[in-house]
Amino acid sequence: MAKGSIYIYSGEGKGKTSAAIGRAVQAATEGKTVVIIQFLKGRGLEDSEFLKRMEPEVKLFRFEKSGENFEELPQEKKQEEIGNIKNGINFARKVLATGECDLLVLDEVLGLVEKGIVDGGELKGMLESREDTDVILTGIQLPDDICFMADEVSKIETVKFKVWE
């Protein structure tokens, strides 16, 4: 029986990834190991010197090869990236199966379901195999069947947005 918790940050607002990263840093300060896998974000956090300094407690992975946002890619590049994304999902499945970390963050994985790149049933099955690993999912749209599995769901809504100067 799975004991790890599932946390979800979803909604139209900005800050879902930031909330997940905050929870990852909190877990690392408690001596836990964290794996973050980012999807659909272009370069995303790949070049973050801060997160690189947190290794080996926090490990960041990105399987997409393009530095551009997925939506901006031409169709042939999207197909190529879908193969890379599926490699990332397979890696996530392996991380859960082996209990490689205490917390697995699947950033923008709900977007993969929304775009039909990953089947919702496939994601649900992967989550059911989690054993003691806690999992954080982020994305805009939240399918009901995934929502029902969660221990905690946060809806992120931007009320006001000002760019940092």
162 falls within a domain: no
Question: For residue 160, what pLDDT is reported?
Answer: 81
Residue 6's alpha-carbon distances to 33, 53, 64, 83, in angstroms, are 16, 26, 25, 26
| Maximum Cα–Cα distance across the chain | 48
What is the dihedral sign for C-alpha 47, 126, 143, 21? Answer: negative
Q: What is the mean pLDDT of each run of 10 residues along the chain (165 residues)?
A: 86 91 94 93 66 84 80 84 92 94 96 92 92 95 93 91 70
163 falls within a domain: no
Q: Over the chain, what is the mean pLDDT? A: 88
Question: CB-hemisphere CA count at 13 Å for 131?
Answer: 10
Domain limits for position 105: 6-155
CATH number at residue 104: 3.40.50.300
39 falls within a domain: yes
**Phi, psi (rounded to 5 degrees) for 18:** -60, -40
Question: For residue 25, what pLDDT is reported?
Answer: 93
Domain count across the chain: 1
Residue 138's Cβ-count burial label (10 Å; 0-12, 13-18, 19+) is buried
31 falls within a domain: yes
Question: For residue 71, what pLDDT is reported?
Answer: 78
131 falls within a domain: yes
Q: What is the pTM of this model?
A: 0.90
pLDDT digits (tens, 9 = 90+) for 134-162: 999 999 999 999 999 999 999 998 888 77
Residues 6+ apart with CB under 8 A from 10: 16, 110, 137, 138, 139, 140, 141, 142, 153, 154, 155, 156
pLDDT digits (tens, 9 = 90+) for 89-102: 999 999 999 999 99
**Phi, psi (rounded to 5 degrees) for 85:** -60, -45
